[in-house]
Amino acid sequence: MNNNQLEGTTTVGITCKDGIVFATEKRATMGNLIAHKVAQKIFKIDDHIGSTIAGSVAHAQTLMKYITAEANLYRLRNGEEIGIEAIATLTSNILRSSPLYVQTLLGGVDNKGPSLYSLDPAGGVIKDMMISTGSGSPVCYGVLEDRYNEDIYVEEGINLAIRAIKSAMERDAFSGNGIALATITKDEGFKFFSEEEVEKKIKDI
């Protein structure tokens, strides 16, 4: 993640039969400097929605606060959770009204099932089954294109996401310092994995 350009990070989002998997590495850079080794790039938006960020740290944090607040307000006003397509549209509107230098993956599970969206800084929205952003994304896509299929379940998606991020960390100088992992399912909602849990899964692959 880079304060000046969008590509200096690596994130992955995967749509599975039973949920969504998000994975990122943890390095934050400023040009050639590794500014932080524990940067947060996965965010819980609501119990059923998560997001990843790549780009300006300040802009990313601002956007996450906006959409988390909007999701909470929707629940309070309507007595139900906001749909994934609706929160993606809302996020797009925020970006169009005031462009923020951040690329976002937004996904979750609602009554229509799991869904995943990519949003660019100008508010463009694309729905896809598996998406990677940032400077390590070409390496990630090599792994994802080879191994992904739409019939995988979250447990398989976790292994695939870890493989993709791990490969990017081997080749991309802006990516490193460990892997962050989160899943969203109907039964468990948003789950963020501890460092120990991630390390165990890496060893089991």
Quote the Cα angle for 75-77-80, to 5°.
Answer: 35
Report whether 33 contacts 59 (CB < 8 A). no
Known catalytic residue at 9: yes
Phi and psi torsions of 166, nearest 5°:
-60, -40
**Helix %, strand %, coil % of the chain (to 5):** 35, 35, 30
Report whether 57 contacts 142 (CB < 8 A). no
**Torsion, Cα of 64, 129, 161, 196 (10° steps):** 50
Could you say which of 9, 104, 133, 183 is catalytic? 9
Alpha helices in the chain (DSSP H): 57-78, 84-97, 137-147, 154-171, 195-204
Catalytic site positions: 9
